[in-house]
Structure 1
Amino acid sequence: MNGKPRILVKGAGVAGLTAAVTLAERGGVVTLYDCAERVGAGASWMAGGMLAPWCEAESAPAEVTAQSVDSVDWWAAHVPGVVREGSLVLAPARDVGELARFGRRTSHFQTVGEADIARLEPDLAGRFQKGLFFADEGHVDPRKALPALAQSLLQMGGQVVLATAQTLDESGFDWVVDCTGLHVRDQLDYLRGVRGEMLLLRCPDVILHRPVRMLHPRIPVYIVPRDNHVFMVGATMVESENAGGMTVRSMMELLNSAWTLHPGFAEAEILEMGTGLRPSYPDNMPRVVQQGRHVYVNGMYRHGFLLSPARAREAADLIFGP
């Protein structure tokens, strides 16, 4: 192959797809492998797809923001449908103090009043008196973006191997980049699962133009608009490795947050509910670890879409040099 390294990328979630495309762009002959029937299966399929480096500073180390400020540009350059309308942070009247706390821990926002909120989101007019607007952020639909990355890999001459339990022979590859999350806990120390939960709602009575974060002292919730009047409603993270079905309490909290944002959600159709485990290290920072010709990209926590471009570049630098 004209001296180009042959690279096997294992795992077709957001980390694997981003790595595969980046490695192909750097000149690798890439095969993407996953035993699932589609790309993006698992936690990536249920993600919110928020590209919000400044909002994430509220609960994440400074490194997360520093390494993800260009994530919106990366996604916009690689997939269609990236929306760059910012993020809006709100709180019901009883929790308005949470806005001040959120603002102290973040930056790059504008404090907005009732008129500004109505201008940004007309359907929320008169419902909230104060909020924070992060104009430089964006979002993307994972269920469209991840297949688009797979298509880009194919167009660059790569291969995508799905829906097979047969393990590929790694001896035919110069490098193996493993992005399979919790499946490699035996090889990576301290990796743990953190539970995430989500609902998909269809609500023709509400229009939103950007993700809205509803603050609450115990369980902040985000509502992310998608096409065809569909909204993804998700909690942040739950420190549990229980991957079972959604609890009644969790569903009530997610639905109540959507209803608090706009009463039109009371008539929404529940399309889907899901839970998943996100691979995480103790410091919740994703890592790239090299063990011989194996490179592990793992521990994406809740930062998969934000930090996968940076971690993909880091893996590519190990293989091709900086």
Structure 2
Amino acid sequence: MKVLIRGAGVAGLTLAHELAARGADVTVVEKRGEIAGNASWQAGGMLAPWCERESAEEAVLTLGRGAADWWDAALPGHVCRRGTLVLAPARDTGEFDRFGRRTSGFRQLDAGEIATLEPALAGRFGRGLFFAGEAHLDPRKALLALRDKLLGVGVRIEFGHRSGYADVEVDCTGIADRRSELRGVRGEMLVLQTAEISLARPVRLLHPRIPVYVVPRSANLFMVGATMIECDAAGPITARSTMELLGAAYALHPAFGEAELVETGVGVRPAFADNLPRVERDGRNIRINGLYRHGFLLAPAMAGQAADMILGNPAAKEFALEAHR
């Protein structure tokens, strides 16, 4: 079975991994000159299905709860399983209570337990929610490691445009697949660097208008994101978003006020009206799209469904549709 995958973001590379593991002959084509710069490259890398349930359908939890295991098996050593900590300023206790009502899989923490979990935040917050079953990874390291693994098992990754026969072609191009029912959701992020604070896990800081997350990475780096703006324009980050994200980081800990701003980024995430992904087939053409803000969380499940569909599981199409009703 020869399969051509268009798009080397997280959807395309996870599908290539699934297909190669099952014996398919796979070629991935990426129109960019490198595996960088797309929405996947700008992602937070949080594998947090229970937290995402706060604003997402049950399908996101159902399909995403196996993501950490998939990434751990595919790329041993890249997944950090230290959970997610959710906090809110004292003035936003209403948001904190609402988040707890809409989610599950957590235990409540008091100020002392927060300090034990994250010593840098001692004395700053009186209540927290700890989602111990969640995880995170560095998206950029994961994408590059997945690329290297695929090349090592014979998957071809080509840049530019390629034509030629394949038994199946799969479109994983995200927002570049300009179907009318897709919309763009712009996410903006910052990367800060400081040695004055250390965090062991992603921290979500709730706010009624701009809830944000701070994700620790190596070399004293912290990714702060992300806005959700109904817009399909890329372009540079806005001054307003920069100030809001910096303000949120400062609210989490004043040490971020002295951090170096080493990077800003914008990614446009593809979404359908229900914010749920789809695997669709039209003859020998298949599409995986609409991963919205859940790329690394839901790509493994979507890749598994698409691989079943491509390689002849007769129930695959029915399952893929049933999961998103």
Question: One fold, TM greater than 0.5?
Answer: yes
> Could you tell me how far apart the structure 2 residues matched to 1:205 and 1:232 are?
15
Which residue of the other structure, out of 295, 301, 309, is the alignment partner of 2:300? 309
Q: Is the 8 A contact 1:14 1:40 kept in 2?
A: no
Aligned-residue CA RMSD (Å): 1.0
* Number of residue-to-residue matches in the alignment: 312
Structure 2 partner of 1:280:
271
Q: 1:33: which partner in 2?
A: 29
**1:151 deviation in Å?**
1.3
- After TM superposition, list the pairs within 5 Å mapping 1:155-194 onto structure 2: 155-162=152-159, 164=160, 167-170=161-164, 172-185=165-178, 188-194=179-185
Shifted more, 77-86 versus 116-125: the winner is 77-86
Normalising by structure 1, report the TM-score: 0.95
Q: How many angstroms does 1:237 deviate by?
A: 1.6
Correspondence 1:74 to 2:67: no
Structural mapping, 1:201-216, within 5 Å? 201-216=192-207
Alignment check: 8 A CA contact 2:227 2:241 kept: no
Whole-Å separation in 1 of the counterparts to 2:24 and 2:144: 20
Aligned match for 1:260, one of 248, 251, 274: 251
Code of the residue aligned with 1:168 in structure 2: it is: R
> Which residue in 1 is equivalent to 2:43?
47
TM-score normalised by the chain length of structure 2: 0.94
1:314 alignment partner, SS class: helix
Equivalent residue runs for 1:1-322 within 5 Å: 5-79=1-75, 80-162=77-159, 164=160, 167-170=161-164, 172-185=165-178, 188-322=179-313
Report the more deviating stretch, 238-247 or 252-261.
238-247
Equivalent AA in structure 2 for residue 196 of structure 1: G
CA contact (8 A) 2:19 2:307 kept: yes
Supply the distance in 1 between the matched residues of 2:13 and 2:36 (Cα, whole angstroms). Answer: 8
**Secondary structure of the structure 1 residue equivalent to 2:288:** strand
Letter in 1 for 2:170: V
For residue 220 of structure 1, what is the amino acid of its counterpart? P
Code of the aligned partner of 2:132 = A
In structure 1, what is the Cα distance between the partners aligned to 2:37 and 2:14? 14
d(CA) in 2 for partners of 1:217, 1:310 = 31
- 1:240 Cα offset (Å): 2.0
Instruction: For 1:59 and 1:133, locate their aligned partners in 2 and report how far apart those are by CA, in whole Å.
Output: 17
1:12-46 per-position Cα deviation (integer Å, ceiling 9, x unaligned): 00111111111111111111110212224311000
Q: SS where residue 130 of structure 2 aligns? A: strand
Residues 68 and 310, structure 1, Cα contact 8 Å, conserved in 2: yes
- 1: CA distance, partners of 2:286 / 2:224: 34
- C-alpha separation between the residues in 2 aligned to 1:241 and 1:168? 26
Per the TM alignment, residue 143 of structure 1 is displaced from its structure 2 partner at its CA by 0.7
The CA distance in 1 between the partners of 2:114 and 2:33, in whole Å, is: 42
Name segments (4+ residues, structure 1) moved above 6 Å: none
Where does residue 321 of structure 2 map in the other structure?
A: none
Structure 1 unmatched ranges of 5 or more: none
Contact 1:199 1:234 in 2 (8 A): yes
Inter-partner Cα distance in structure 1 for 2:176 and 2:11: 14
Q: Identity of paired residues, percent?
A: 55
Cα displacement (A) at 1:242: 3.0
Name the stretch that deviates more: 68-77 or 32-41.
32-41
The CA deviation at 1:98 is 1.0
Runs of at least 5 residues in structure 2 that lack an aligned partner in the other structure: 314-325
Which has the higher mean CA deviation after the structures are superposed, 234-243 or 224-233? Answer: 234-243
Aligned residues of 1:12 and 1:41 also touching (Cα < 8 A): no
The separation in 2 between residues aligned to 1:40 and 1:307, in whole angstroms, is: 20
What SS class does the counterpart of residue 192 from structure 2 fall into?
strand
Alpha-carbon distance, 1:83 to partner: 0.3
> After the TM superposition, which of the residue ranges 205-214 and 37-46 deviates more from structure 2?
37-46
Q: Is the CA contact 1:13–1:41 (under 8 Å) kept in the aligned structure 2?
A: no
Amino acid paired to 1:42:
N
Q: Is the 8 A contact 1:141 1:226 kept in 2?
A: yes
Q: Which amino acid aligns with 2:72?
A: A
Taking a change above 3 Å as real, the CA distance of residues 119 and 88 of structure 1, as seen in their structure-2 partners, is same
Alpha-carbon shift at residue 321 of structure 1 (Å): 2.4
